[in-house]
Amino acid sequence: MSRIIFVLLATLMALSVGAQCAGKETIFVETQEQRDKRMAWWREARFGMFIHWGIYSVPAGVWDGKEVPGIGEWIMHHAKIPVAEYAKLAGRFNPVKFDAQAWVKLAKEAGMKYIVITSKHHDGFAMFRSAVSPFNIYDATPFKRDPLKELAEACRKYDIKLGFYYSQAQDWHHPGGAAAGGHWDPAQDGSMDDYIRDIAVPQVREILSNYGPVAIMWWDTPVDMTKERADMFLPLLKLQPGIIVNNRLGYYDGDFGTPEQEIPPEALSTDWETCMTINDTWGYKSTDNNWKSTTTLVRNLIDIVSKGGNYLLNVGPTSLGEIPEPSVQRLKEIGAWMKVNGEAIYGAGKGPFSNVGFDGRCTAKGNKLYLFVFNWPDNGEITVPNLRAAPISARFLDGSPIEVTELPGTEERTGLAISAPEKPDPIATVIELTYAEKPTP
C-alpha cells in the first residue's frame, strides 16, 4: 500500500481509536454481564482464520506485465486500473478447485476456532450471490456458485464460527463508493450517501440474512464515514443476535480493537485482535513468497494471548480457489503444536507477571499459569518470578518428566527453578503450574 494511503488510513484508524478513547457511543446497549456473555466464545477462541479472496487473485499482483507494489487486493488502486478494465477480471475468475470443506478442515486442523472471510472488499466485487449488484461471483463469473453459502454450510458442519468482512465505505467499482486518496476514474464518482443506501446497506442485509448464523461483522477502513452513515448499518445487526463487531465501522467503538500486522508492546485492557498475513499480502500475489516461519507464527500467537488478545491469521487463496501450499504447511505445523499445547492458549489471557524473567511468555487461566519457554538458558534452568504462593503441581504439557526446585523465599514470596526437559520444543516448551487459587503477583 502506498505510503500516503497507509498514513491516511492510519490517521483514520487512529481517529476511530481516538473515538474509542473519546468514549463515543457503543453500538450495543447492554450490561457488562451481557457483554461478557456475548464476548465469551470469542475470548475463549483466541485464534481465527482470515480469508482474503476475490478477483484480485486473477492478476495476483501483476498488471500490464509489471509487478504492482503493495498488497494484492489493492492492485486496482495502486495501478489506477479503470473500473471497466478491472471488471473484466470477473469473466476470468473460475475457481473450480474451491473446496469449502477442505478450507474449514484446514482451519480446524490449525487449531483455529473461527473464520472471517471477505464478502466484499474495496474493489466492490461481491464474493456472494447478491441481488443488489450484478458485480458478484454468481452473476459475473463462469463459476456460477456462491462460495459464502458453501463456506457457511461447512462451518456449521465442522462447528467453526463464521464472520464476514465487508468494506462498507471504500468501493472502487460502484459510483459514490469511497477510495482512500480519491477516485481515479470518473465512473467512480457519485453520492456516497446513495452508495451506502443503495449498495452497502442492502448487501450487508444480504450477508446477515442469507447465510445462517454470522458470529462476527468485520468492517474495514471507515473512509469518509460519519455517525449518520454508520447509523445506517446499525439496524442490520439485529438480524444476528449476539454478533460481535470490530472497531472499523466508523464513529463507534465496536467490540474489539484491530491492530494490523503488529502486536501491541503491552497488554491492553480492552478486547483486541491482531490481524496478520503469513507472507506480506492479504490477497494472493504470485510474487510474494516472504513466508513467516511456523515458529514466528506460533510465538506471535503466544505473545498476543499473553497480552490478552486474539490472533486472526490470514490466507489468500488463488484464482483457482486453492490456499497456497506454504500457508497450508504452516497451518498444519501450527496445528501440531496446538494439539499438544492448545489448553495454554484457549480461554487464557494476561498472566500476573510484568516480566517473566526468561525468554518466553506467560498466560493465565483460572488457578493455572502457563509458562512458554522459547529458548532455555545455557544452564538449562529457568526461575519463575516470585508469587505469593507456591504451585500445588507442575507439569510439561508434552508429558516430559519435570524437575521443580523451590527456591528460598520470604514469608510473602516463593520462587521456583524448573529444569529443561530432555527434548525442549524448538517452538516453545509449555509448563503448566496449578495453584490452590488464582495466582497473584
Using CB under 6 A, list all residues that contact ligand JFZ. 6, 9-10, 13, 71, 73-74, 220-221, 260, 275, 282
Least gap, CB of 75 to ligand JFZ (angstroms): 11
Least gap, CB of 37 to ligand JFZ (angstroms): 28
DSSP labels, 102-156: HHHHHHHHHT--EEEEEEE-TT--BSS--SS-S-BTTTSSTT-S-HHHHHHHHHH
Least gap, CB of 68 to ligand JFZ (angstroms): 14
153 Cβ partners below 8 Å, 6+ apart?
Answer: 100
| Distance of alpha carbon 130 from alpha carbon 126, whole angstroms | 7
Amino acid identity for residue 427 in this structure? I
Question: CA nearest 357: which of 416, 427, 436?
Answer: 416
Least gap, CB of 118 to ligand JFZ (angstroms): 7
Which single residue is written with the C-alpha cell 501483476?
Answer: 62
Among residues 57 and 363, whose Cβ is nearest to ligand JFZ? 57
Supply 227's cell numbers: 455517525
Separation of CA 429 from chain center: 25
Least gap, CB of 22 to ligand JFZ (angstroms): 17
Residue with the shortest CB distance to ligand JFZ: 13
Helix (H, G, I), strand (E, B) or coil at 391: coil
* Phi, psi (rounded to 5 degrees) for 230: -65, -40
Among residues 52 and 330, whose Cβ is nearest to ligand JFZ? 52
Least gap, CB of 58 to ligand JFZ (angstroms): 16
Least gap, CB of 82 to ligand JFZ (angstroms): 20
Least gap, CB of 50 to ligand JFZ (angstroms): 7
Which single residue is written with the C-alpha cell 487459587?
Answer: 437
Among residues 151 and 313, whose Cβ is nearest to ligand JFZ? 313
Strands 404-407 and 47-51: unpaired
Among residues 223 and 373, whose Cβ is nearest to ligand JFZ? 223
Among residues 7 and 389, whose Cβ is nearest to ligand JFZ? 7
Least gap, CB of 210 to ligand JFZ (angstroms): 23
Phi/psi-derived region of residue 101, left when phi > 0, alpha when psi is between -120 and 50, beta in every other case: alpha
Among residues 192 and 382, whose Cβ is nearest to ligand JFZ? 192
3-15-200 Cα angle (round to 5): 85
Integer distance in angstroms from the first to the last C-alpha of the chain?
A: 44
Contact 306, 351 (CB under 8 A): yes
Among residues 260 and 280, whose Cβ is nearest to ligand JFZ? 260
Among residues 138 and 282, whose Cβ is nearest to ligand JFZ? 282
Least gap, CB of 367 to ligand JFZ (angstroms): 37
Contact 331, 337 (CB under 8 A): no
Among residues 2 and 318, whose Cβ is nearest to ligand JFZ? 2
Among residues 47 and 376, whose Cβ is nearest to ligand JFZ? 47
Question: CA nearest 73: which of 328, 319, 259?
Answer: 319
For residue 301, give the H/E element and its range. helix 294-306
Contact 263, 304 (CB under 8 A): yes
